Structure 1
Amino acid sequence: MQFVQLHSQSAGLAELFEEIDLLMNSLYPAEANDLVPISEIDSPQTYIIGHYDNGELVACGSFVLKEDIGVYAELKRIYVKPSQRGKGMAKAILEHLIMQTKRKKVREIKLETGDQQTAAIKLYESFGFRHCGAFGQYNAEPSSVFMQLALDDGQQ
């Protein structure tokens, strides 16, 4: 599976972000969604990749470097179109993002997801992510699930 680094003008990215936003807004109240706008992905703190199938952007994933109590990478916008699911793409995206955070010498990855995304939660748990409390800009919403992964030389 091949990934390319994306930017705000990448073919199909605006449409994919719109699809993600529609899904998240159908599952959770607006105040519970912290969706990175496309205008912010060209920031030097953001790393985003995608996978194209026959010229169509069918999956993406990113992290944003942040600082709270130390520097960490926050996973954002990990998404695979429904027609492409079941092929191991989300796992491959996660593996790639973890590898890139390690290259940047980041020691911890955090994420916020929703309680209705059970397949995603199981995937994160399979990589060693553990449940944690709210972090950074987040408030503890009833539907929010917070997770973190400490990276060391033995991880993934």
Structure 2
Amino acid sequence: MEIRTGELSNPHVIKLLKTHHNDMLKHSPVESVHALDVSKLTHPNITFYSLWIDNNLAGVGALKALNTTHGEIKSMRTSSNYFRQGIAAKLLTHIIEQATLRGYKKLSLETGTAEAFLPAQKLYAQFCFKECEPFGNYELDPYSLFMSKAL
């Protein structure tokens, strides 16, 4: 297993991010989908990670700096060939470690409320994320669930 920083020009990463975005659109209206495309993931305040097993893409995730003490998890997705193998937990662990190394005091995320998002909600709860009010530029939305964790 190898976690790489970047790789946003890799065709496997691009394909997985497109799949992720299209899947979000199946469960939420377009105005409630907050998944970032490749161009937005290249922003300087975002660090993108990809997890590889034997040079096969297993999952992706990103850490966005909201300010000097608050980070946001973005674009968490596991490749379908690696579902239920702990990939998301490994990426989430890495992102939490990176946020801690940066000195963040808080880590937040937005996920969906539809049944398809229950596995993600359960994962975040296992890592002690709790429901919270919208943060950053988010607003209350029946399709969004906001979660935060003190670091």
| TM-score of the pair, normalised by structure 1 | 0.89
**Contact residue 112 and residue 147 of structure 1 kept, 8 A:** yes
Q: Aligned pair 1:52/2:52, yes or no?
A: yes
> How do residues 110-125 of structure 1 correspond to structure 2 at under 5 angstroms?
110-116=108-114, 117-125=117-125
Structure 1 residue runs of 5 or longer lacking an equivalent are 152-156
Task: Tell me what 2:141 maps to.
Answer: 141
Task: Tell me what 2:130 maps to.
Answer: 130
- The superposition leaves residues 44-100 of structure 1 with CA deviations (integer Å, 9 ceiling, x where unpaired) of 211111123454323101111013xx6311100110022211111111000000000
Q: Return the offset for 1:42.
A: 2.5
Which one of 72, 76, 84 corresponds to residue 70 of structure 2?
72
Task: Tell me what 1:91 maps to.
Answer: 89
Task: Tell me what 1:42 maps to.
Answer: 42
Task: Tell me what 1:154 maps to.
Answer: none
Query: What's the secondary structure of 1:61's corresponding residue?
Result: strand
**Contact residue 69 and residue 103 of structure 2 kept, 8 A:** no
Provide the alpha-carbon RMSD of the alignment: 1.5
**Contact residue 7 and residue 42 of structure 1 kept, 8 A:** no
Runs in 1 of length 4+ with deviation above 2 angstroms? 40-44, 52-58
Q: Return the offset for 1:17.
A: 1.0
**Going by fraction, where is helix more abundant, 1 or 2?**
2
1:54–1:11 distance in 2 versus 1, CA, 3 Å: farther
Letter in 2 for 1:65: A
Letter in 2 for 1:89: I
| TM-score of the pair, normalised by structure 2 | 0.91
Determine the C-alpha separation between the residues in 1 that align with 2:55 and 2:146.
34
Letter in 2 for 1:80: T
Q: Aligned pair 1:10/2:10, yes or no?
A: yes
Determine the C-alpha separation between the residues in 1 that align with 2:138 and 2:107.
15
Q: Return the offset for 1:139.
A: 1.4
Q: Return the offset for 1:149.
A: 0.3
Structure 2 residue runs of 5 or longer lacking an equivalent are none
Letter in 1 for 2:146: F
Q: Return the offset for 1:136.
A: 1.3
Query: What's the secondary structure of 2:66's corresponding residue?
Result: strand
Percent of aligned positions that are identical = 25
